[in-house]
Structure 1
Amino acid sequence: MAKLKTTLLVAACGLAIAACAKKRPEVLPPAPVETPATETPTGPTGPATGEVTPGSAADFQRSVTSNTVLFGLDQYDIDPAARAILDSQAQWLVRYPNVRITIEGHCDERGTREYNLGLGDRRANAAKNYLAAKGIAPARITTISYGSERPAATGSDEQAWAQNRRAVTIVLN
C-alpha cells in the first residue's frame, strides 16, 4: 500500500513538472538589433554640451549667492549676511515653484550630541521660516539636523568651527 502511494505521488509530481515545461515556439523572434542613440543624454548639468538645465540643482548653485548660511557660536538667528543669501535663494525658488528643497542644519563639534542636533534643527528651521516669510510655500521645504555629524571643515579651531555652524540648502531633483 505504501509503495502504491509513493508511486502515485512520484507520478503526480512528474505530471506537474511536465505541465509546467515551456514549449519551444515554432518561430523564434528576430535577434535584437543595436540602434545608435538618437537622444541627447541629460543629467543635472543638462545636455552633453555642458549646459545647465533651468530649475536644476546646478542652476541653483550657479544662480544664488550661496547655498550655505553661517551662524555664530550657539546662534540660530538670521543676520544680515544670511538674509542676503536667503533672499537670493528665495528669488530663485519663486522662479521655479515646483522645486522642493531640504535645509540641513549643522553644528561644530563642541556640545553634546543632543544639544547639537537641537541647535542644527533650530538653524534649519530659522532658514525655512525666513524663506516662508519671503513667499516660499513651507510644504516645499523639509528640514533635517545633522548636528556635528557632517562637518564641512575638519579641525578643532575657530576657523573650522565657523565653517561647520551652518544651514545648507539642497535642491531635490
Structure 2
Amino acid sequence: MNTRFATAMLLAGSIGLAACAKKAPEELPPPPAETTAPVTDTTPTTTGPQVGSQMHFENAVNGQNVIYFDTDRYNIDSADAAALQTQAQYLGQYPQVNITVEGHADERGTREYNLALGERRANSAKNYLVSLGIAANRIRTVSYGKERPVALGSNEEAWAQNRRAVSVVVN
C-alpha cells in the first residue's frame, strides 16, 4: 500500500510541475526603441593634480622637493637654498599645506650616527624654510638615516643620491 501511495504522489508532483513549465512565445517582442540620453560633460572643471597633493607640490616646485648634501655635512649650499626658496614660495601660496622634511644618509657609518645626521639635515632644511617666513608648526621633521635608500649600491654615485632631505606633503 505504501508503494502505491508513494507512486501516486510522485506522479501527481510530476504532472503539477509540468503544468508550471513556461512555453516559448510564438513571436519575439520587438527590440527596445533607441533613446538618446542627453549628453552630460563629466570631465572635471580643473585639470592636473589636486592642490595640496604631493604631485601638485612636486610639479609646482619643478621636482625640487629634494636637496642633496655632501658627505657628513648638513649645511645648505646655494643649490639647496634655491630649491628651498621655491618650496617656501609654494608653502606661502598654500597656507593649508603642511610638510614633513625627511632626513636621509648613505649606508656608511653606524645606524645611530646616520639617524643623527639625517635629523640634522632635516632640521637644517626646516630652519631655512622658517627663516624664509614659513611657520615652524607647518613643518615636521623625521630622520630615516640609512634605512630608506633611493639608490642601491656601494659607490659614490649611490651614496650621493642617498644623502638628502625630502619635503613631503602631509594631510
Q: Does 1:132 align with 2:147?
A: no
Q: Which has the larger radius of gyration?
A: 2
Please name the residue that 1:57 is paired with: 54
Displacement of 1:74:
0.1
Alignment of 1:31-42 (within 5 A): none
Give the whole-Å Cα distance in 1 for the aligned partners of 2:113 and 2:97: 31
Percent same amino acid at aligned positions? 59
Structure 2 runs not aligned, ≥5 long: 1-39
After superposition, give the CA deviation of every residue in 1:9-31 in whole Å (9 maximum; x if it has no partner).
xxxxxxxxxxxxxxxxxxxxxxx
Query: Which runs of at least 4 in structure 1 moved beyond 4 Å after TM superposition?
Result: 47-50
Displacement of 1:48:
10
Please name the residue that 1:85 is paired with: 83
How many residues are treated as equivalent by the alignment?
A: 130
Give the whole-Å Cα distance in 2 for the aligned partners of 1:140 and 1:120: 19
After superposition, give the CA deviation of every residue in 1:62-102 in whole Å (9 maximum; x if it has no partner).
01031100000000000000001000000000000111100
Please name the residue that 1:106 is paired with: 104
Please name the residue that 1:157 is paired with: 155
After superposition, give the CA deviation of every residue in 1:24-74 in whole Å (9 maximum; x if it has no partner).
xxxxxxxxxxxxxx9x79xxxxx5986222232211010103110000000
Give the whole-Å Cα distance in 2 for the aligned partners of 1:84 and 1:67: 11
AA of the residue aligned to 1:170: V
Backbone CA RMSD of aligned residues: 1.9
Q: Does 1:116 align with 2:114?
A: yes
Give the whole-Å Cα distance in 1 for the aligned partners of 2:137 and 2:86: 19
TM-score, normalized by length of structure 1?
0.71
After superposition, give the CA deviation of every residue in 1:108-166 in whole Å (9 maximum; x if it has no partner).
00000000000000000000000000000000000000000000100000000000000
TM-score, normalized by length of structure 2?
0.72
AA of the residue aligned to 1:93: L
AA of the residue aligned to 2:49: V
AA of the residue aligned to 1:137: A
AA of the residue aligned to 2:160: A
